[in-house]
């Protein structure tokens, strides 16, 4: 599956830097054809998805960052399309699209088009509701991703926390294209018997993060208005 993911990354015209983070296993298990084409971080200590992605962010050199799980793949020109959308919108610091899995497509809760800071969070009424945007579809300006602290330090839902922070702090654009595919199988974390134990609480952490970011932005603007009137 990792080889197939890598093949899908090659279906882009833009230059792609490939960083592979091996969490809780040996790098010796990586296919040889990938090792020479990627920056590889490996630890046999299991550190979790949030830490793995944040460490990958540290060693990356690209101006724009996206992430993918080894068991998924990207649609042809997925990165090209998202990067082109950013280039067409002068203020955009992120872009995203829609995703599919083996049985269905995104519900497309959030319509395509330019997005102001907070639009994604406002389309998510409560932690228990459907997430308005697939976090793995995001392509984010590297500096912005680092400013928000990368992926949220959670045992699960860390990508939702990242998405909410990024989209609440900066304008972006959502394109009307499928850009990411999730392959379903029994070994996924979402299939584990314990997955639901912390899922709602993890979502609440991400939802609260967006509320705090937007509340702070509103209060800052209000204070600025008062100072200007004086």
Which one of 25-29, 74-78, 107-111 scores highest in mean pLDDT?
A: 74-78
Helix or strand run (H / E) with residue 33: helix 32-35
Domain ranges of the chain: 63-229
Percent of the chain exceeding pLDDT 70 equals 95
Q: Please state the pTM of the whole predicted model.
A: 0.90
- The residues, any chain, with a CB within 8 Å of residue 54's CB and separated by 6 or more, are 150, 151
pLDDT at 25 exceeding the cut of 70: yes
* Phi, psi angle pair for 93, to nearest 5°: -115, 5
pLDDT at 122 exceeding the cut of 90: yes
Q: What is the pLDDT of residues 188-221, one digit of tens each?
A: 777 788 778 989 999 999 999 999 999 987 766 6
Supply the angle between the helices 158-169 and 49-59 in degrees, to the nearest 10.
Answer: 50
The CA distance from 26 to 20, in Å, is: 12
pLDDT at 171 exceeding the cut of 60: yes
Mean pLDDT over 100-114 rounds to 91
* Mean pLDDT for all residues in the chain: 91
Considering only CA atoms, which of 101, 105, 106 is closest in space to residue 131?
106
Which CATH number does the domain 63-229 belong to among 3.40.1710.10, 3.90.550.10, 3.30.70.3270, 2.160.20.60?
Answer: 3.90.550.10
Q: What is the pLDDT of residues 127-159, one digit of tens each?
A: 999 999 999 999 999 999 999 999 999 989 999
User: In this structure, what token pair is assigned to residue 97?
Assistant: 């699209």
């Amino acid at each position: 599956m990792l080889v197939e993911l890598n093949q899908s990354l090659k279906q882009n015209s833009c230059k792609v830097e490939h960083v592979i983070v091996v969490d809780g296993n040996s790098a010796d298990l990586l296919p040889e054809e990938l090792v020479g084409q990627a920056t590889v971080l490996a630890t046999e200590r299991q550190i979790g998805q949030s830490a793995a992605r944040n460490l990958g962010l540290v060693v990356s050199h690209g101006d724009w960052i996206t992430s993918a799980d080894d068991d998924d793949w990207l649609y042809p020109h997925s990165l090209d399309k998202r990067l082109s959308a950013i280039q067409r919108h002068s203020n955009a610091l992120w872009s995203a699209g829609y995703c599919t899995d083996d049985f269905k497509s995104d519900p497309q809760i959030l319509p395509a088009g330019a997005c102001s800071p907070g639009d994604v969070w406002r389309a998510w009424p409560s932690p228990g509701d459907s997430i308005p945007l697939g976090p793995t579809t995001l392509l984010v300006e590297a500096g912005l991703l680092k400013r928000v602290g990368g992926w949220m330090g959670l045992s699960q839902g860390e990508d939702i926390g990242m998405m909410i922070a990024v989209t609440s702090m900066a304008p972006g654009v959502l394109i009307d294209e499928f850009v990411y595919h999730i392959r379903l199988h029994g070994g996924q974390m979402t299939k584990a018997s314990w997955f639901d134990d912390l899922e709602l609480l993890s979502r609440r952490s991400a939802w609260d993060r967006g509320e705090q970011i937007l509340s702070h932005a509103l209060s800052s603007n209000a204070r600025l208005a008062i100072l200007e009137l004086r």
